Structure 1
């Protein structure tokens, strides 16, 4: 049996990195995926303007080692990425002694499907070219 997850979506916030007491760096971010909302007959629902209505789900993505370093360095809010990894369930007791449960995706690979906004702006910015000022 194999535990494999593949998700493609939009990054919800700038990734955050923390270090454990043992020195391991962990980078986490949220990922939004969506699918069309369907009615009881299975037809795609539309809003008042005829646009498709979607259900959005949020996933907590956790990255370690080199994957985490790359994500921390290059991934930005709004960027489209594809995550390949595995589902991991966690259980802990909070400060009020209440047992809590959570689910996260441990990323083995994060593929960039688009550039972050800052990189898009760099590519769209006019290039400073000395030849532009030379008359013909």
Structure 2
């Protein structure tokens, strides 16, 4: 069985950083991802997908991502449910991210193409000119290894 998701989109609001009672960091934000077609009126539509990150990745997202920033998220879909105050069952579908790549360039000289964080703390190698070793998707900050095809 396989449950993997890769999304690229823009944050609709600043990430919200919280801590569990045990002191574990958790960050939530929403990613707007364009649909691959236009509506009958010729307008582009988007899906607004809730993202959850944990631990060091959560703190990094809270520190480096802001509303409007573009990010690539890799993770898994999770569906959970709870009973609200009115006694109704509420279902929540969200992405639990284990890798986030910051695609909006940071001001102050650092290039966000080198900012990929996740459970493996994977980083692009710096090729000497301050940029990561991107080839095919250089404008987007995506390396050949990130492409699913």
Supply the RMSD in Å over aligned alpha carbons: 1.5
Q: Does 1:61 align with 2:51?
A: yes
- Higher relative helix content: 1
Bigger relative contact order (CA 8 A; separation at least 6): 1
1:33 Cα deviation after fit: 0.3
Q: Does 1:91 align with 2:81?
A: yes
2:22 and 2:93 map into 1 onto residues whose CA distance is: 23
Map Cα deviations across residues 86-121 of structure 1 (whole Å, 9 max, x no partner).
000010001111110010100001001113xxx44x
Whether the 8 Å CA contact 2:50–2:94 is kept in 1: the answer is yes
The residue aligned with 1:37 is: 38
The residue aligned with 1:13 is: 13
2:95 and 2:11 map into 1 onto residues whose CA distance is: 14
Aligned residue runs from structure 1 range 120-131, under 5 A: 120=107, 122=108
Aligned residues: 108
TM-score scaled by length of structure 2: 0.67
Which structure has the larger Rg? 1
Instruction: Extract unaligned runs of 5+ from structure 1.
Output: 40-44, 47-52, 124-136
Instruction: Extract unaligned runs of 5+ from structure 2.
Output: 110-149
TM-score scaled by length of structure 1: 0.74
